[in-house]
Amino acid sequence: MNNKPHIIVEPTADGSATLFVKELDEHYHSVKGAITESQHIYRDSAFLHRSDGTPIRLLEVGFGTGLNAVVTAMVADEQHPVHYISLEKYPLEAQLLTTLAHDAIVDPTLLRAIHDSQWNTPIPITPYFTIEKRISDYLVDPLPQSIDVVYFDAFAPDKQPEMWTPKAFARLYDCLNIGAVLTTYCAKGEIRRLLSSLGLTVERLSGPKNGKREILRATREK
Ligand SMILES: C[S@@+](CC[C@H](N)C(=O)[O-])C[C@H]1O[C@@H](n2cnc3c(N)ncnc32)[C@H](O)[C@@H]1O
């Protein structure tokens, strides 16, 4: 993908909009439902599953539209405090984020605060949700350490295979605390085996309603 890809806004089946990248022939979210995917795969199956009242350090691979971030911010509270670090190599233009109209389906004040927050520094959005958006190449730049939750939301393996290699996952594994969980929408056998080969315990979970049949959750048990 070059720095100025051709990106258009498209509706998804649950009424929330996503983006389509023509050069990659790829969407930012499931066409079966963008917000449904964020809530089920990332918020519920990873963050709320792992959250135990202690502050969570969360790493998102691919900030994109910020939908996963705001969906998480909306449930962050005294019982679920989180430092949310999100990596993005190609930040989207503000105009595109406005056209998506995600402010109609999430807390608009939180969404705006997340979108307006400065890059490359931690910014407290609420007492329980701090965002740290990093303009960063996941494959090259140093990764944050001591991570409890990973939202692995890269473009699909057939569209961006370099994000899904054994080498890249081995580097990610080294950032994980014991007990850390990673979820992703991709349940391919090849990815499942790769995560297992690193020593992670991998579960296949049901996908979002009306969406993908299965998703993956990988846990670092030791
Ligand atoms: C499926 S989208 C993420 C959707 C996002 N989580 C959301 O809630 O809107 C994948 C994202 O990964 C980003 N990306 C691609 N290559 C990357 C890299 N090497 N490092 C960091 N981000 C990358 C893309 O620009 C895109 O925003």
Q: How many domains does the chain have?
A: 1
The pLDDT value recorded for residue 212 is 66
- Whether 52 shows a pLDDT value over 50: the answer reads yes
203 lies in some domain: yes
pLDDT digits (tens, 9 = 90+) for 7-47: 999 999 999 999 999 999 999 999 999 999 999 999 999 99
Q: Give residue 5's pLDDT.
A: 79
Q: Separation of 186 CA from ligand 1 center, angstroms?
A: 14
**Is there a contact between 218 and 186 (Cβ–Cβ < 8 Å)?**
no
Residue of the CA atom closest to atom 11 of ligand 1: 62
User: Judging by beta carbons within 10 Å of its beta carbon (0-12, 13-18, 19+), is residue 212 exposed, middle or buried?
Assistant: middle
Q: From ligand 1's centre to the CA of 90, what distance in Å?
A: 7
Cα-to-centroid distance, 130 and ligand 1 (Å): 20
Does residue 70 sit within a domain? yes
Q: pTM for the full model?
A: 0.97
Enumerate the H helices of 58-136 as residue ranges.
Answer: 67-73, 94-100, 108-116
pLDDT at 155: 98
Point out the ligand 1 atom lying closest to the alpha carbon of residue 26. 1
What is the CATH number for 119? Answer: 3.40.50.150
Q: Model confidence over 102-129: pLDDT tens digits?
A: 999 999 999 999 999 999 999 999 999 9
pLDDT digits (tens, 9 = 90+) for 70-109: 999 999 999 999 999 999 999 999 999 999 999 999 999 9
Mutate to test the pocket of ligand 1, among 37, 89, 99, 106 (most ligand atoms within 8 A of CB): 89
Q: How confident is the model at residue 2 (pLDDT cuts 50, 70, 90)?
A: very low
154-167 per-position pLDDT tens digit: 999 999 999 999 99
Residue 106 lies in a domain: yes
Backbone angles phi, psi at 25, to 5 degrees: 55, 50
Ligand 1 pocket, residues with Cβ under 6 angstroms: 28, 62, 64-65, 67-68, 87-90, 137-139, 153-155
- Span from the CA of 137 to the centroid of ligand 1 (angstroms): 10
Does 4 score more than 70 pLDDT?
A: yes
Is residue 16 in a domain? no
- Closest C-alpha to 74, from 10, 125, 2: 125
Task: Quote the pLDDT of residue 3.
Answer: 57
Across-strand partners of 67?
none
Per-chain mean pLDDT for the chain: 96
> Is 62's pLDDT higher than 70?
yes
In a domain, 1, yes or no: no
Do β-strands 147-152 and 176-184 pair in parallel, antiparallel, or remain unpaired?
parallel
The C-alpha atoms of residue 132 and residue 167 are separated, in whole angstroms, by 25
Q: The domain containing residue 43 runs over which residues?
A: 33-219
94 inside domain: yes
Residue 118 lies in a domain: yes
Residue 5, domain member (yes or no) = no
